[in-house]
Amino acid sequence: MPRPKTKKELIEAANTNYQKLNDFIGSMTEAELSTAFDFSADEKKKEAHWKRDKNLRDVLVHLYEWQVLLLNWAPANLQGGKEPFLPEPYNWKTYGDMNMEIWKKHQSTSLEDAKALLDKSHKDVMELLMTFSDEELFTKRFYSWAGTSNLGAYFISVTSSHYDWALKKLKAHRKNMK
């Protein structure tokens, strides 16, 4: 699916990829759900997230927490705040540390709770998305607080692109199981 360039395309991509992710999760066997992720044998999987996430819950809470970032950031800035997308003390060079803190924070979260959290945050992100026009979403620098990007890029990042990332990870886990 090409990168969305309109609100309509973004809504479709977000919902389609969320459904694909949920369909795949629904197809996971008990063995796939209960076996810890291990990508250490694949030399191509060098990014930190391949070592960080050990199960489906870890992936789902990661998606959830990044959506919460957007849900807090956009409304705060729309109300006149000057909030960065990433919370202090993190920045785009250190967000891996933030991801590790997210992982630690949710080690006692159940898989059922992780699913419910993501379901709610997906719905909330989609509701927030509906409040913006194409121009507001896809005009670079429309909102100064979105930096050199456009607001739509943030929505894409925490929905369709992130769902695609999660699905690839789950498929890699399934492949490892065979």
Domain count, the chain: 1
Mean pLDDT, to the nearest integer, of 123-138?
98
Q: In the predicted model, is pLDDT for residue 89 greater than 80?
A: yes
Provide the whole-model pTM: 0.97
What's the token pair of residue 30? 């008990």
Q: Is residue 25 part of a domain?
A: no
Q: Is residue 79 part of a domain?
A: yes
Mean pLDDT, to the nearest integer, of 2-13?
97
Query: pLDDT per residue over 16-71, tens digit each?
Result: 999 999 999 999 999 999 999 999 999 999 999 999 999 999 999 999 999 999 99
pLDDT range class, residue 142, cuts 50, 70, 90? very high
The predicted pLDDT at position 178 comes to 86
Q: Is residue 109 part of a domain?
A: yes
Q: Is residue 86 part of a domain?
A: yes
Q: Is residue 104 part of a domain?
A: yes
Mean pLDDT, to the nearest integer, of 78-104?
96
Q: Is residue 148 part of a domain?
A: yes
| DSSP E strand stretches across the chain | none
Domain of 105: which CATH number? 1.20.120.450
Q: Is residue 27 part of a domain?
A: no
> How many other C-beta atoms lie within 10 A of the C-beta of residue 103?
17
pLDDT range class, residue 2, cuts 50, 70, 90? confident
Instruction: State the residue range of the domain holding 14.
Output: 7-18+54-177
End-to-end CA distance of the chain: 28
Concatenating the DSSP letter of every residue in 12-57 gives HHHHHHHHHHHHHHHH--HHHHHSPP--TT-TT--SHHHHH--SHH
Q: What is the mean pLDDT of the chain?
A: 96
Q: In the predicted model, is pLDDT for residue 1 greater than 80?
A: no
The predicted pLDDT at position 6 comes to 98
Q: Is residue 24 part of a domain?
A: no
Q: In the predicted model, is pLDDT for residue 9 greater than 80?
A: yes
Could you give the percent of the chain with pLDDT greater than 90? 97
Mean pLDDT, to the nearest integer, of 80-107?
96
